[in-house]
């Protein structure tokens, strides 16, 4: 029997609630499909930071490297650990170390979920550059605490980095409706973003079967709300993609439905799957977090592992629950009830 070893990092807050839920759905799906999933749990979190001064141990990256994939809940406990410390100690270094350069975030309405827009018939795949750009971490502060203080944070865009994410987007567009929106702000940022636009044009010549439009990020943000059905694949830099995918989450009904996959397309290291939402400490462990974003992320993990039929069945089961109104109204159904409905629809 085929078996996949998964590193489970529940993290903080509702991360535990939603990974427990997702795992029970994934285990059931695996059982039905005839493959095995084994999990090894790592308690890497803000709690660990409070105890040891580290979000994860020094050899964490080497430890994770041996797994087929990573399933992560959420990171952050801002009342106790500054977000700039916790995220740079756990989530962001994994994305970079494992060259998970494509952050894939699907935005569509699940059946039964009412979004805030009149438009219902949209299906957007946001592809966010995930290793460089505005998140490169290059910068510093001088004269700290004085009136002369200066803070610099430099975005880094490399030809290799921009080209590979755009290429990934073009390839995705080919498997979908053949449209690609490349997002920049090249009217204001005349070096990095003009560079991005040039690479977009260069690749467009290679992918003549894909219809490409370059947008400025402000216009694209408006389009996601005014005409989301006009968009197919959207490729954006790290920070622009971060912001646009919260809009995507909003138009699909909320962060409870927004899934994501941090993919290493070359498969030279494990990929990581996580809901877009945060740790929501205010509702942690109350049993009311919506697990659908985590379950959907789990389906993306099965897809990446090559278990496409099982991934499809998990999504069908989620839809069978939501179409009956389960998990579609905030606060109505408990985490366990939503999970049980998805598991039942799998059997």
Q: Which residues bind ligand IPM (CB under 6 A)?
A: 87, 91, 242, 276
Catalytic residue among 12, 17, 242, 333: 242
- Name the DSSP class of 123: E
Q: Is 242 in the site for Mn ion (CB under 5 A)?
A: yes
CB of 29 to ligand IPM, least distance (A): 25
DSSP string, 44-97: -SHHHHHHHS-SS-TTHHHHHHTSSEEEEEE--BTTTB-HHHHHHHTHHHHHHH
CA torsion sign for 3, 65, 92, 136 is negative
Question: What are the CA-CA distances from residue 76 to residues 98, 279, 344 (Å)?
Answer: 21, 6, 32
C-beta pairs of 49-52 under 8 Å, 24+ apart in sequence: 49/81, 49/85, 49/86, 49/89, 50/80, 50/81
266 is catalytic: no
Q: What single DSSP character describes residue 185? A: -
Q: Which is nearer to ligand IPM, 184 or 262 (CB)?
A: 262
Partner whose binding site includes residue 307, from ligand IPM, Mn ion, none (CB under 5 to 8 Å by kind): none
Using CB under 5 A as the binding criterion, the count of chain residues that bind Mn ion stands at 1
CB closer to Mn ion out of 115 and 275: 275
How many Å separate Cα 187 from the centre of its chain? 28
- Give the active site residue among 83, 123, 197, 246: 246
Cβ proximity to Mn ion, 280 vs 345, nearer residue: 280
Q: Which of 4, 101, 135, 207 is catalytic?
A: 135
Q: Which stretch binds Mn ion (CB under 5 A): 140-148, 155-163, 235-243, 309-317?
A: 235-243
Asked if residue 307 binds Mn ion (CB under 5 A), the reply is no
Summary count for the chain: helices (H), strands (E): 12, 12
17 lines the binding site for Mn ion (CB under 5 A)? no
C-beta of 134 vs 232, nearer to ligand IPM: 134
203 binds, among Mn ion, ligand IPM, none (CB under 5 to 8 A by kind): none
Closer of 105 and 313 to Mn ion (Cβ): 105
Residue facing Mn ion at closest CB distance: 242
The verdict on whether 83 is a catalytic residue reads no
CB of residue 260 to ligand IPM, shortest distance in Å: 7
The contacts of residue 113 (CB under 8 Å, 6+ apart) are: 252, 253, 257, 322, 328
In the complex, which residues of this chain contact Mn ion (CB under 5 A)?
242
């Amino acid at each position: 029997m085929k078996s996949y070893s998964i590193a489970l990092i529940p993290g903080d807050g509702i991360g535990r609630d939603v990974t427990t839920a997702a795992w029970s759905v994934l285990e059931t799906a695996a059982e039905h499909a005839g493959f095995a999933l084994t999990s090894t749990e790592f308690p890497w979190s803000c709690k660990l930071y409070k105890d040891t001064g580290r979000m994860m141990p020094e050899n964490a990256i080497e430890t994770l490297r041996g797994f087929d994939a990573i399933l992560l809940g959420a990171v952050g406990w801002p009342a106790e650990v500054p977000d700039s410390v916790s995220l740079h100690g756990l989530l962001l270094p994994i994305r970079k170390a494992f060259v998970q350069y494509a952050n894939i975030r699907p935005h569509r309405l699940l059946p039964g979920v009412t979004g805030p827009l009149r438009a219902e018939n949209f299906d957007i795949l946001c592809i966010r550059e995930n290793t460089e750009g505005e998140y490169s971490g290059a910068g510093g502060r001088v004269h700290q605490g004085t009136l002369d203080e200066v803070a610099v944070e430099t975005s880094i865009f490399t030809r290799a980095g921009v080209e590979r994410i755009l290429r990934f987007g073009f390839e995705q567009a080919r498997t979908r409706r053949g449209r690609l929106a490349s997002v920049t702000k090249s009217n204001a940022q005349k070096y990095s973003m003009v560079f991005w636009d040039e690479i977009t044009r260069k690749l467009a010549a290679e992918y003549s079967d894909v219809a490409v439009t370059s947008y400025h990020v402000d216009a694209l943000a408006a389009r996601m709300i005014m005409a989301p059905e006009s968009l197919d694949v959207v490729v954006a830099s790290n920070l622009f993609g971060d912001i646009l995918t919260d809009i995507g989450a909003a138009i699909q009904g909320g962060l409870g439905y927004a899934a994501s996959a941090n993919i290493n397309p070359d498969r030279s290291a494990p990929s990581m799957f996580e809901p877009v939402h945060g740790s929501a400490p205010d509702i942690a462990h109350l049993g009311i977090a919506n697990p659908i974003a985590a379950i959907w992320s789990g389906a993306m993990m099965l897809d990446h592992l090559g278990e496409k039929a099982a991934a499809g069945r998990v999504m069908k089961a989620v839809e069978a629950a939501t179409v009956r109104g389960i998990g579609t109204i905030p606060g109505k159904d408990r985490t366990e009830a939503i999970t049980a409905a998805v598991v039942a629809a799998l059997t």
